[in-house]
Amino acid sequence: MDRLFEGDPAPTSPFEDLVNIKTEKALGKNGISTIVPWLHKNTSKQREFVIILTDPRDKSLELRATLKSFFTGLSPHIQSRMVIVNADSPLENRK
């Protein structure tokens, strides 16, 4: 089993299958560079990060309530770093 240690970059392959809410297509290898900070070419900025919130349940009321509270209390800088993964269709998420 391969092990990751602090400071090791996380694998990127799980991000490739995530579906873009607008295009309804998988991000693929090219699309993940828009959300995975360690693939960005501009390294002059301070340490970048991504926050991933996930819930595997359809139409999760808890996830929706958490998102509402996060988006009212977090700065736009932090909000732009968030990725939400759920079991709902892109159409359901746009609602």
Per DSSP, the three-state class of 75 is coil
Q: Could you read off the pLDDT of 44-89 as tens digits, one per residue? A: 555 578 888 899 999 999 999 988 888 888 888 888 888 889 999 8
Q: What is the value of pTM for the model shown? A: 0.70
pLDDT at 31 over 80: yes
